[in-house]
Amino acid sequence: MKIRDDLHVLTGSYALDAVPWPEREEFERHLRHCPACEAEVRGMRETAARLATVAVMAPPRRMEQRVLAATYRTRQLPPLARGRQSRRYSGAATARTAAGWLSRDSRHRVRQLVMAAAAVIVAAAIGLGINQAVTQHQLRSSREAGTAITHVITAPDARSHTAGTKAGGAVTVVVSFRQRAAVVATTRIGPLPAGRVYQVWVMTPSGARSAGLFSHAGRNGPLLASGVTPGDKIGITVEPAGGTPRPTTTPIVIVPLPV
Amino acid sequence: MCRAAIRMRLCLEWQDMNTPSRHQWRPRLVPAEEPEPDLAGLLAQVARGDHRAFELVYRQLAGPVYGVIRNVLRDPAQSEEVAQEVLLEVWRAASRFDPDRGSAAAWALTIAHRRAVDRVRAEDACGRRERKAAPGMTPECADAAAAVEASLDRERVRRCLDSLTGLQRESIKLAYCRGYSYPQVAQLLGVALGTVKTRIRDGLIRMRDCLEVDW
């Protein structure tokens, strides 16, 4: 136990490449069996990358031409089969854990989505409780949306993808083709001028159809886009309040769904 | 002259950030500029052999990659050589980048930092390099006020660094910016090994939370 605690303290030093051989090797072995350490290392690597923003230096101009030219004579590595992503390039030993499809990180996001979904359902229930005018039908459909979202994000074939948007922040899409649906959520997305909303689209070869609106900056969702099929894309555009039948601006982000 | 003005504005915005509307700071900071294309998306294109996408990746990554390497290696010629290797590696290994496991920038900078450190360690092992740093010396990596234009991101990193204890800050700077191993950091700062390990970890956790790093 003492040894493990001792090793765990090394997460920080390891993330900064400050663990010398052969201890580094020993720690990497430990990482393979310690998902908590692995997650911590990942967070610290992100943090170190932010430190690098204060270290930015302009490289010599000639470097660009040299590197670009070299790409024309350098063969690229093929992708690794799913489930055996390179440890070297994830920066840490990150054996995919038993649960399969989703990486730890995705599951973390999925957990956030589930919590957000729960919050939406609770909020809807409270709203409905206060407003006696709503019909039983509305109550049921809101509850059904919540259930559908939960079904998608807990589906065994659920896959998650996160992409940055041109408006800042990121969008996370969890898709289950078995459920024929995707769940879309945003974090830290930029604010909009008055009278504008973010509109989510399912983009198919035959055109785009609206999946709903996000009306504010920051965290949004989850929103359910149903009827998605492999190869579709999820896009978000800025549109006039109330939304439009067709996208009228360039998407701030497009997330291709797996084929 | 405008540096002070910018700094003042940054301070004001920093205060805003502590209010519930903190998500609104980013767009105000980068006003009418063309938004940078998303690195993760570009890397996916690069993985399919798209040279134009790689040019855009190069433009975003070359500065931080070179900066990190230069801070560790110091020698400009050697830094240039390693930076070229790393950026070419980004081209070569783009298909191995997995967005589920962290940001594209962190992926590339992890490769860059490790390459630089490996180079230093190899030379240390051969006794070819005489590297001395006085404890308490401040590596410019973590407070490069002079070299760079004002950016809220940098300002924020600096402020978060300031929130650390002295020992946490020095340990992190010596390890990350200078590429020292934790036993070397312990020696330079004259503290026990265990102390350095915990200070680096605690400091990074505090930085991570202060910067609200998504992980």
Asked whether residue B122 falls in the same domain as residue B168, the answer is no
Asked whether residue B95 falls in the same domain as residue B173, the answer is no
Instruction: Give which of A12, A223, A16 is closest to B175, Cα–Cα.
Output: A16
Q: How many domains does chain B have?
A: 2
Distance of residue A159 Cα from the nearest chain B Cα, in angstroms: 10
Tens digits of residue pLDDT in A219-228: 676 788 888 9
Asked whether residue A91 falls in the same domain as residue A136, the answer is no
Residue B25 lies in a domain: no
Q: In B93-165, where does DSSP find H-type helix?
A: 104-126, 152-162
Choose the final residue of a domain: B131, B155, B188: B131
Residue B12 lies in a domain: no
Cβ contact (<8 Å) for A75 and B198? no
Residue A245 lies in a domain: yes
Asked whether residue A17 falls in the same domain as residue A109, the answer is no
CA torsion angle B188 B207 A55 B13 (round to 10) = -140
Kindly state whether B63 is in contact with chain A, defined as any CB-CB distance less than 8 angstroms: yes
Pairing mode, strands A218-226 and A181-189: antiparallel
Q: Are A141 and A166 in contact (CB under 8 A)?
A: no
Kindly state whether B193 is in contact with chain A, defined as any CB-CB distance less than 8 angstroms: no
The complex scores an ipTM of: 0.76
3-state secondary structure of A149: helix
Tens digits of residue pLDDT in B5-61: 333 333 223 323 333 333 333 333 333 345 567 899 999 999 999 999 999 999 999
Residue A69 lies in a domain: no
Asked whether residue A25 falls in the same domain as residue A125, the answer is no
Asked whether residue A92 falls in the same domain as residue A109, the answer is no
Asked whether residue B49 falls in the same domain as residue B114, the answer is yes
Q: How many domains does chain A have?
A: 2
* CB contacts < 8 A (A, B): 269
Q: What is the DSSP string of A89-113?
A: HHTS--PPPTT-SS-HHHHHHHHHH
> What mean pLDDT is predicted for residues B126-140?
44
Q: Are B129 and B72 in contact (CB under 8 A)?
A: no
Percent of chain A with pLDDT over 70: 71
Cβ contact (<8 Å) for B23 and A217? yes
Q: In chain B, where does DSSP find H-type helix?
A: 2-17, 25-29, 39-47, 51-73, 76-92, 104-126, 152-162, 166-172, 182-189, 193-210
What totals of helices (H) and strands (E) does chain A contain, helices first?
Answer: 8, 8
Percent of chain B with pLDDT over 70: 70
3-state secondary structure of A231: coil
Which of A2, A51, A171, A188 is the best substitution to test chain B (most B C-beta atoms within 10 A)? A51
Answer whether residue A106 shows pLDDT above 80: no
Residue B11 CA to residue A72 CA, distance in Å, equals 46
Cβ contact (<8 Å) for A63 and B83? yes
> What mean pLDDT is predicted for residues A26-53?
90
Distance of residue A135 Cα from the nearest chain B Cα, in angstroms: 34
Residue A65 lies in a domain: no
Choose the final residue of a domain: A65, A96, A127: A96
Asked whether residue A88 falls in the same domain as residue A139, the answer is no
Tens digits of residue pLDDT in B141-181: 544 443 444 466 778 888 899 999 999 999 999 999 999 99
Tens digits of residue pLDDT in A42-96: 999 999 998 887 778 889 999 999 999 999 999 999 988 765 544 444 433 332 2
Residue B111 lies in a domain: yes
Residue B29 lies in a domain: no
Residue B62 CA to residue B72 CA, distance in Å, equals 16
- Token digits for B63? 């500065």
Angstrom distances, CA of residue A121 to CA of A108, A115, A145, A153, A158: 20, 10, 9, 15, 21
Percent of chain A with pLDDT over 90: 23
Asked whether residue B142 falls in the same domain as residue B122, the answer is no
Note if the bond before A256 is cis, omega within 30 degrees: no
Task: Categorize the per-residue pLDDT at A179 as very low, low, confident or very high, splitting at 50, 70 and 90.
Answer: confident
The vertex-A190 CA angle with A109 and B22, nearest 5°, equals 85
Residue A59 lies in a domain: no
Asked whether residue B101 falls in the same domain as residue B175, the answer is no
3-state secondary structure of A175: strand
Q: Are B169 and B137 in contact (CB under 8 A)?
A: no
Cβ contact (<8 Å) for A52 and B93? no
Q: What is the pLDDT of residue B128?
A: 52
CA torsion angle A201 A204 A207 A210 (round to 10) = -20
Partners of residue B143 in chain A, C-beta under 8 Å = 54
Q: What is the pLDDT of residue B200?
A: 97
Residue A152 CA to residue A155 CA, distance in Å, equals 5
Asked whether residue A88 falls in the same domain as residue A207, the answer is no
CA torsion angle A225 A227 A231 A232 (round to 10) = -50
Angstrom distances, CA of residue B142 to CA of A178, A179, B106, B114, B168: 49, 48, 17, 18, 13
Please, which residues 170-189 of chain B have a Cβ atom closer than 8 Å to chain A?
A: 172, 175-177, 179-183, 185
Asked whether residue A217 falls in the same domain as residue A256, the answer is yes
Residue B91 lies in a domain: yes
Residue B43 lies in a domain: yes
Cβ contact (<8 Å) for A91 and B107? yes
Asked whether residue A83 falls in the same domain as residue A119, the answer is no
- CATH code, domain with B115: 1.10.1740.10
Q: What is the pLDDT of residue B133?
A: 41
Partners of residue A51 in chain B, C-beta under 8 Å = 141-142, 157, 161, 172, 176-177, 207
Residue A92 lies in a domain: yes
Q: What is the pLDDT of residue B9?
A: 34
Q: What is the pLDDT of residue A7?
A: 81
Considering only alpha carbons, which residue of chain A is nearest residue B41? A163
Question: Please, what is the angle between helix B152-162 and helix B193-210, to 10°?
Answer: 140
Q: Which domain holds residue A247?
A: 104-259
How distant is the alpha carbon of residue A82 from its chain centre? 18
Partners of residue B197 in chain A, C-beta under 8 Å = 9-10, 12-13
**Model-wide pTM > 0.80:** no
Asked whether residue A20 falls in the same domain as residue A113, the answer is no
Cβ contact (<8 Å) for A12 and B204? yes
For residue A154, the tally of other CB atoms under 10 A from its CB is: 13
Residue B184 lies in a domain: yes
Asked whether residue A221 falls in the same domain as residue A202, the answer is yes
Pairing mode, strands A218-226 and A170-176: unpaired
Q: Are B105 and B84 in contact (CB under 8 A)?
A: no
Which of A10, A46, A159 is the best substitution to test chain B (most B C-beta atoms within 10 A)? A46
> What mean pLDDT is predicted for residues B192-212?
95
Q: What is the pLDDT of residue A158?
A: 79
Asked whether residue A246 falls in the same domain as residue A149, the answer is yes
Considering only alpha carbons, which residue of chain B is nearest residue A76? B92
Asked whether residue A118 falls in the same domain as residue A9, the answer is no
Cβ contact (<8 Å) for B142 and A54? yes
Asked whether residue B43 falls in the same domain as residue B119, the answer is yes
Answer whether residue A108 shows pLDDT above 80: no
Q: Which residue has the tokens 């990482």?
A: A31
Q: Which residue has the tokens 């934790």?
A: B182
Q: Which residues contact B48 (CB under 8 A, 6 or more apart)?
A: none
Asked whether residue B148 falls in the same domain as residue B208, the answer is yes
Q: Which domain holds residue B169?
A: 134-215
